[in-house]
Amino acid sequence: MLESENTKPGADAAGQGKFGLVSIRLPVALTFAALVGGLLAGIVGAMAGAPQGVSDIAGLFGGLWLRALQMTIIPLVAALLVLGLVQMILAARVGTVARRMLVILVAAQLAGATFATIAMPALLRAFPIPAGAEAFLAQTPASVGEVPKVLDFLASLVSPNIVAAAAETAMLPLTLFFVMFAVAITRLPADQGERLTGFFHALGNAMLLIIGWVLSAAPVGVFALAYGVGIQSGGGVFAALGHYVVTVTLMGTFVLVLAYALAGFGGGIGLMRFARAMLPAQAVALSTQSSLASLPAMLDSAGRLGLRASTAEFVLPLAVVVFRATSAAMNLAVVYYVAALAGVEVSPTVAIAGILIASVISLSAVSLPGSISFVVSIGPIALAMGVPVEPLALLVAVEMLPDLMRTLGNVTMNVAVTSAVDRSAEGAQAPV
């Protein structure tokens, strides 16, 4: 959920067993109010002829908060990506049911990412971003957005110095490195693997605490940034935010529709039967905005569909831990929206890389509050695709709205995947 209860470090806050992540409280409603208030203050300031010094001070505070947010991306992604991949690889070793499940999960992520890559640019061409949105780019460096040549792009996939790659926020070689690192951990002797996994677990929790402190100041930072946007763009920025929420949510709607199709064709369940069985779980998802909190309701929906308890009790908890069906599609939608804002051309090669990065990075933000997963998941994709990350600092303030579709799509897809796995595993014994 967007505002989760504080727990002590090491608590099973995320439902991930001994490698659970700490929960932190996020001022979501206050941050949204700060966004609106900052924009209104900026608009009024522009009309009243506010002194330039006010904008300079607001820019200072907003810039400091933005940089504090950016500094957490690399270490947090590294820790959570390793943890997510290790858990997924270990799960695949459990048995045939787990492997079937993971194949379906990967296919669903890739399908959503591919759809967003094709549909989002087309949607933005058909319904252009409203005028005035350019003010979101006030903090964006002019050098961002250069399109690399194909050979240069391929050469950039491997870095001879991983520390230098981290310093330069080169996400492609970093992601490849940590994927290989996670695989290597699973091949080590058990005691060594546990020590390394424990290190990344501790690193992830420490970084979550830091990003929690940074995001606790989000109302101040967002207000300051929004003031600058409002003073430059006027009231047109509200139309831009509405346009952003609608277009990004539409990409998540595709995943929701895909879930019903998977239940029908993969699970052999009629459309109306699946829809009726999902209503209670979807109601919980919308009210809590948490896949984890919706787990009991998902188990109930699986029972209503006549799915075997052994399958549901194995697949659904694991899906909550390693899978967010809407992440790749909606995260890429955000990146393409910012790319359109900045006038960044996304080449086919970079687009393919974006699909792969978005699918892999989605593993790093599981069971996290929406505002944190927004930063952790989208920042690396944007960096990998040469798209500015600065506008994300303001867009995170409205994430509570698209997050409704994120949770709805995730919960529905989890049950659909369970139905497909249950049908494919008929006659096989599901692990418990």
Neighbours of 27 (CB within 10 A): 18
| Token output for 105 | 């999960």
Q: Helix (H, G, I), strand (E, B), or coil: what is residue 240?
A: helix
The values of phi and psi at residue 319, to 5°, are -65, -40
Residue where the block lists tokens 């001070």: 57
Q: What is the pLDDT of residue 10?
A: 34
Q: What is the pLDDT of residue 176?
A: 83
The values of phi and psi at residue 116, to 5°, are -65, -35
* Residue 367, C-beta contacts closer than 8 angstroms, at least 6 positions apart: 14, 15, 16, 21, 291, 292, 320, 321
Closest CA to 252 of 104, 399, 112, 397: 112
What is the 8-class DSSP label of residue 148? P
What is the 8-class DSSP label of residue 138? T
User: How many CA within 13 A on the CB side of residue 303?
Assistant: 10
One-letter identity of residue 51: P
* Residue 26, C-beta contacts closer than 8 angstroms, at least 6 positions apart: 2, 3, 4, 212, 215, 216, 218, 369, 371, 372
Q: What is the pLDDT of residue 179?
A: 84
Helix 52-70 to helix 218-233 angle, to the nearest 10 degrees?
130
C-alpha of 122 from chain center = 22
Q: What is the pLDDT of residue 152?
A: 60
Q: What is the pLDDT of residue 431?
A: 43
Rounded Cα–Cα distance for residues 101 and 112 (Å): 17
Residue where the block lists tokens 């080449």: 347
Helix 327-342 to helix 236-265 angle, to the nearest 10 degrees?
150
* Residue 85, C-beta contacts closer than 8 angstroms, at least 6 positions apart: 178, 179, 182, 183, 360, 363
Residue 98 class from Cβ within 10 Å (0-12 exposed, 13-18 middle, 19+ buried)? buried
**DSSP labels for 173-239?**
HHHHHHHHHHHHHHHS-HHHHHHHHHHHHHHHHHHHHHHHHHHHTHHHHHHHHHHHHHHHHTTHHHH
Q: Which domains does the chain have, with CATH numbers?
A: 24-424 (1.10.3860)
pLDDT tens digit at each of 432 positions of the chain: 333 333 333 333 334 456 666 777 777 788 888 888 888 888 887 777 777 777 788 878 888 888 888 788 788 888 888 887 887 777 767 667 777 888 888 888 899 999 999 999 999 999 988 876 666 665 555 554 454 555 565 666 677 777 777 777 677 788 888 888 888 998 899 889 889 988 988 888 888 888 888 888 888 888 888 888 777 776 677 888 888 999 999 999 999 999 999 999 998 999 999 999 999 999 988 887 778 778 889 999 999 999 988 888 888 887 887 778 898 999 999 999 999 888 888 888 889 888 988 888 876 555 566 666 777 788 888 888 888 888 888 888 888 888 889 999 999 999 999 999 888 766 444 444
Q: What is the pLDDT of residue 247?
A: 93
Residue 125 class from Cβ within 10 Å (0-12 exposed, 13-18 middle, 19+ buried)? exposed
One-letter identity of residue 168: E
Q: What is the model's pTM?
A: 0.81
Q: What is the pLDDT of residue 125?
A: 92
Residue where the block lists tokens 């993971």: 102
What is the 8-class DSSP label of residue 21? -
Q: What is the pLDDT of residue 366?
A: 57
